[in-house]
């Protein structure tokens, strides 16, 4: 119903981006004089903390000496819900240039979602856990923004705010002497991701043709402007050669001037000219305040003075039809 198959691996990219933020955290152990004894890079893996805790509590038989090492971190997706605060207009599109000179790449149907992420820090002693925690908290005030390329084949980048919503601590200190102590620091995050619909293409507007007409007499044509790039040009559009063609003013062979304030007598066959526009035409007939002219040269202006070249008669033009 929705069209052909598409997959931008948005959730996979979310997991990869989130995990990359915490994959280079270390814990340092020192002696009583402050000298560094060793430095441990804290392992990070995707999975629920219950699996790792179960591994700690399990009887590993012959491999008991190889129990899971602490400290370590795990993370997982905890939920996904629509982000109504970042709702985009339904017609929002992303458009980029393509290798074609007549098409552009386009993405439609963009929607915002919050992806819940949980990061768990598991440590055997308090200092190890606090070292890891302190290397994370200062960067979230309360959010940290990363930039990603969400759709393959497109150059645009998306900023992804990752907000730290809460921090909780659980200390499993109760139990017998055979039970390993585990400190668990749980950090709840939300990632503001966007999901994108299928990619496609749309035609580029390569020809603009504008005709200008009289707003009253729509049959009266003033001018035509045509803008078109050279059809042999290719990308980028900034290098296109643009050709602009302006068709000259066109007036009908015969039209009517309605005038008032007539001084003198106009005669058929004589030329009349406007004092402002300097447009000229030949009188066909005169009937009171109606002058029919032909063979116009230019466009007369309303309220300008019209003068007969032979008779010297004058009048004021009121309308031009």
Query: Are 78 and 105 part of one and the same domain?
Result: yes
174 located within any domain: yes
Tokens 């730290």 locate to: 164
Q: 62 to each of 53, 66, 69, 96, 179, how far by Cα in Å?
A: 19, 9, 16, 60, 18
Query: Are 113 and 48 part of one and the same domain?
Result: yes
Task: Point out which residues pair with 313 in neighbouring strands.
Answer: none
- The residue range of the domain holding 236 is 205-247
Query: Are 92 and 125 part of one and the same domain?
Result: yes
Q: CA 315, CA 286: separation in Å to the nearest integer?
A: 12
Query: Are 170 and 209 part of one and the same domain?
Result: no
Q: CA 169, CA 122: separation in Å to the nearest integer?
A: 10
Name the pTM for this structure: 0.61
pLDDT digits (tens), the chain, 321 positions: 566 888 999 999 999 999 999 999 999 988 778 788 888 899 998 887 666 666 555 544 444 443 457 888 999 999 999 988 887 777 778 887 777 767 788 888 889 999 999 999 988 888 889 999 999 999 998 899 999 999 988 888 999 999 999 999 988 665 555 556 788 999 999 999 999 988 888 877 777 777 666 665 555 555 666 777 665 555 555 556 666 665 555 566 788 888 999 998 999 999 999 888 788 899 999 998 898 998 888 778 778 899 999 989 999 988 777
Nearest to 25 by CA among 45, 43, 38, 47: 43
Query: Are 96 and 226 part of one and the same domain?
Result: no
What's the CATH number where 156 sits? 3.30.2000.40
Query: Are 165 and 185 part of one and the same domain?
Result: yes
Query: Are 162 and 283 part of one and the same domain?
Result: no
Query: Are 41 and 184 part of one and the same domain?
Result: yes
148 located within any domain: yes
* Gyration radius (Cα) of the chain, Å: 40
Query: Are 87 and 189 part of one and the same domain?
Result: yes
Query: What pLDDT does 64 receive?
Result: 42
Query: Are 76 and 163 part of one and the same domain?
Result: yes
45 located within any domain: yes
Q: 196 to each of 6, 19, 78, 224, how far by Cα in Å?
A: 10, 22, 21, 41
Query: Are 163 and 223 part of one and the same domain?
Result: no
Q: CA 106, CA 202: separation in Å to the nearest integer?
A: 7
80 located within any domain: yes
Query: What pLDDT does 137 receive?
Result: 94
4 located within any domain: no
243 located within any domain: yes
Q: What angle do CA 168, 25, 140 make, to 5 degrees?
A: 50
Query: Are 169 and 62 part of one and the same domain?
Result: yes
3 located within any domain: no
59 located within any domain: yes
| Domain total in the chain | 3
């Amino acid at each position: 119903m929705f069209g052909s198959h598409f997959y931008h691996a948005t959730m996979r990219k979310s997991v990869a981006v989130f995990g990359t933020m915490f994959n280079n955290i270390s814990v340092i152990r020192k002696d009583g004089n402050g000298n560094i004894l060793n430095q441990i890079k804290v392992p990070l893996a995707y999975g629920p903390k219950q699996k790792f805790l179960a591994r700690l509590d399990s009887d590993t038989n012959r491999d008991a000496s190889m129990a899971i090492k602490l400290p370590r971190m795990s993370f997982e997706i905890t939920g996904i819900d629509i982000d109504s605060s970042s709702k985009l207009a339904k017609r929002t599109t992303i458009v980029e240039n393509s290798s074609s000179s007549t098409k552009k790449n386009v993405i439609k149907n963009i929607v915002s979602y919050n992806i819940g992420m949980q990061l768990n820090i598991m440590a055997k002693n308090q200092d190890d856990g606090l070292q890891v925690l302190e290397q994370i908290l200062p960067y979230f005030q309360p959010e940290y923004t990363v930039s990603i390329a969400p759709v393959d084949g497109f150059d645009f980048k998306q900023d992804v705010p990752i907000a730290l919503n809460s921090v909780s601590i659980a200390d499993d200190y109760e139990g017998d002497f055979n039970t390993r102590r585990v400190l668990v620091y749980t950090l709840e995050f939300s990632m503001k991701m966007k999901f994108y619909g299928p990619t496609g293409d749309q035609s580029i507007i390569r020809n603009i043709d504008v005709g200008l007409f009289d707003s009253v007499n729509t049959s009266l044509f003033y001018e035509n402007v045509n803008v078109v790039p050279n059809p042999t040009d290719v990308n980028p559009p900034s290098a296109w050669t643009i050709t602009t063609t302006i068709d000259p003013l066109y007036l009908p062979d015969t039209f009517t001037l309605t005038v008032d304030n007539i001084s003198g007598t106009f005669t058929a066959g004589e030329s009349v000219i406007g004092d402002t526009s300097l447009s000229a035409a030949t009188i066909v007939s005169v009937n009171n305040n109606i002058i029919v002219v032909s063979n116009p040269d230019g466009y007369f202006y309303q309220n300008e003075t019209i003068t007969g070249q032979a008779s010297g008669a004058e009048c004021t033009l009121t309308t031009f039809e």
